[in-house]
């Protein structure tokens, strides 16, 4: 059964879990979530049968830095009128006329119309050309790329590539997740293939939070991570740590299970993938 990140100690997470809008959006997302700790092998935003069967192209024109202030203002007013307090950060025009890509605090990104009256989740595909064009994927990747780039390396647990670095991946992980452990068992193979793995914390339940915090508070995080992934208990003195912040980041990027693996370009390439498939997915062959 899927369990979303939860914390009683972080006010931002409490607000997120109580928000009426968040509850509605999360309920919609859970409809398409597969049971188990690894449900991201194909994210819902890029895994429709139409796209896979047609080998659709990704629209790069959809990514724009120009937020429409009027749409932001209208959407913010409409949210407030409905008793929703999330702050809208930007509303970027997309390739679909009258549809905008919205980034808001504490919420996964979504689409809205020009009047800011409707919230639209999921994938938008343009048809009529030689192949379907996914206008969602580039927007999602751009959001993830910027957010992951902003994470300080000192706040991650990093397993560097052996030899030349051919690719870097970010993996939201939970030490208690079976598929995360399976991925970790292949770490030497992954690193030998030239892939650097940067772990971010994403405990799926309240029970896993102390272990993840202990890993991040350990003097040797890699040793603690190895211990935790092997199923052992991990103990460390409490410290200021980024676990709650990374949980919130995962929620913002639409992470719904672990492992959730992103490239440096912000593309989500999977949940668990065997080392050889991961190398192929990130171009490290």
The distance from CA 20 to its chain's CA centroid, rounded to whole angstroms, is: 21
Q: Is 37 a catalytic residue?
A: no
For residues 212 and 229, give the distance between their C-alpha atoms in angstroms, rounded to a whole number: 10
Q: Is 177 a catalytic residue?
A: yes
Which residue in 181, 204, 217, 256 is the catalytic one? Answer: 204
For residues 29 and 128, give the distance between their C-alpha atoms in angstroms, rounded to a whole number: 28
Which residue in 37, 43, 134, 180 is the catalytic one? Answer: 180
For residues 102 and 245, give the distance between their C-alpha atoms in angstroms, rounded to a whole number: 21
Residue with tokens 């919230």: 119
Q: Is 221 a catalytic residue?
A: no
Which residue in 13, 174, 193, 198 is the catalytic one? Answer: 174
Range list of β-strands (E), the chain: 57-58, 88-93, 99-104, 110-113, 119-120, 125-126, 133-134, 157-159, 167-173, 195-201, 260-263, 268-270
**Which phi and psi angles does 195 have, rounded to 5°?**
-105, 125
Least Cα distance to 202 among 177, 179, 219 occurs for 177
Q: Is the peptide bond before 18 cis (omega within 30 degrees of 0)?
A: no
For residues 119 and 25, give the distance between their C-alpha atoms in angstroms, rounded to a whole number: 9
Which residue in 13, 176, 177, 181 is the catalytic one? Answer: 177
Residue with tokens 């350990």: 218
Give the active site residues. 174, 177, 180, 204
């Amino acid at each position: 059964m899927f369990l979303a990140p939860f914390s009683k100690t972080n006010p931002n997470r409490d607000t997120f879990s109580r928000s009426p809008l968040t509850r509605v959006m999360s309920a919609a997302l859970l409809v398409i979530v597969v049971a188990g700790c690894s449900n991201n092998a194909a994210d819902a935003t890029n895994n429709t049968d139409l796209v896979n069967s047609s080998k659709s192209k990704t629209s790069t024109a959809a990514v724009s830095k120009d937020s429409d202030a009027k749409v932001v203002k209208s959407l913010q007013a409409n949210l407030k009128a409905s008793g929703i307090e999330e702050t809208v950060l930007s509303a970027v025009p997309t390739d679909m006329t009258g549809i905008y890509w919205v980034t808001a605090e504490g919420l996964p990104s979504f689409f809205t119309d020009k009047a800011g009256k409707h919230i639209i989740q999921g994938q938008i595909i343009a048809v009529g050309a030689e192949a379907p064009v996914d206008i969602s994927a580039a927007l999602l990747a751009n959001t993830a790329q910027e957010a992951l780039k902003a994470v300080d390396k000192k706040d991650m647990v990093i397993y560097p590539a052996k030899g030349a670095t051919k690719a870097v991946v970010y993996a939201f992980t939970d030490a208690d997740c079976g598929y995360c452990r399976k991925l970790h068992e292949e770490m030497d193979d992954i690193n030998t293939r030239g892939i650097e793995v940067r772990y971010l914390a994403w405990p799926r339940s309240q029970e896993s939070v102390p272990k993840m915090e202990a890993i991040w508070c350990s003097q040797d995080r890699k040793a603690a991570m190895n211990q935790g992934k092997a199923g052992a208990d991990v103990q460390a003195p409490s410290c200021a740590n980024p676990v709650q912040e990374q949980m919130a980041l995962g929620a913002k990027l639409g992470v719904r299970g672990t492992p959730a693996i992103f490239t440096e370009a912000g593309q989500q390439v999977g949940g668990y993938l065997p080392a050889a498939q991961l190398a192929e997915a990130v171009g490290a062959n």
